[in-house]
């Protein structure tokens, strides 16, 4: 199993949904990774990929993360600058701190851009608990 595969939450027809390893400060942050090998730019997104991302994945993720952590606003970022493959960051935003496994997650700029942000290493067992919590809700 690759390092990334252990963070897989769900397989879809056109995408895989994964827990992002940088959970701090955005508890429940995930990303959708296009399965199509030649998927690169957002401008090349196929209609099936678009419908699945916005019609299935984003609403299901939003509902699951809200039920688990009561985020205040869902954010979506599709950049492709550092990793040149079509993927979408699903980022929950929080106006007040949240607790999970004795860790306090505090969004440093809840009404502004999510980046840059402070990073804090989260232990693998806790990451897998977050992954499993989201999996159960989907």
d(CA 3, CA 124): 11
Q: What is the structure's pLDDT at 51? A: 97
Q: What is the structure's pLDDT at 8? A: 97
* C-alpha radius of gyration, the chain, whole number: 14
d(CA 19, CA 57): 13
pLDDT (average), residues 9-29: 97
Question: Which domains can be identified in the chain, with CATH numbers?
Answer: 5-137 (3.30.428.10)
Looking at every residue in the chain, the average pLDDT score rounds to: 94
65 alpha carbon, distance to own chain's centre: 10
What are the two backbone dihedrals, phi and then psi, of residue 64, each rounded to the nearest 5 degrees? -65, -50
pLDDT (average), residues 103-114: 94
pLDDT (average), residues 103-126: 93
pLDDT digits (tens, 9 = 90+) for 32-91: 999 999 999 899 999 999 999 999 999 999 999 999 999 999 999 998 788 889 999 999
Strands (DSSP E) along the chain, which ranges? 8-11, 15-19, 30-34, 73-77, 87-93, 98-100, 103-105
Share of the chain above pLDDT 70, in %: 99
């Amino acid at each position: 199993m690759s390092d990334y595969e252990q963070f897989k939450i769900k397989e879809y027809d056109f995408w895989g949904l994964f827990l992002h390893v940088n959970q701090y400060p955005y508890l429940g942050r995930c990303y959708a990774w296009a399965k199509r090998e030649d998927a690169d730019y957002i401008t090349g997104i196929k209609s099936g990929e678009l419908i699945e991302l916005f019609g299935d994945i984003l609403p299901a993720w939003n509902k699951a993360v809200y039920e688990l952590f009561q985020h205040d606003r869902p954010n979506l970022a599709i950049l492709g600058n550092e990793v040149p493959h079509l993927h979408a960051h699903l980022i929950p935003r929080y106006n007040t701190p949240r607790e999970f496994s004795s860790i306090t997650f505090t969004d440093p700029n809840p009404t502004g851009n999510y980046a840059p942000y402070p990073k804090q290493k989260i232990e693998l067992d806790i990451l897998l608990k977050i992954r499993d919590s989201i999996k159960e809700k989907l």
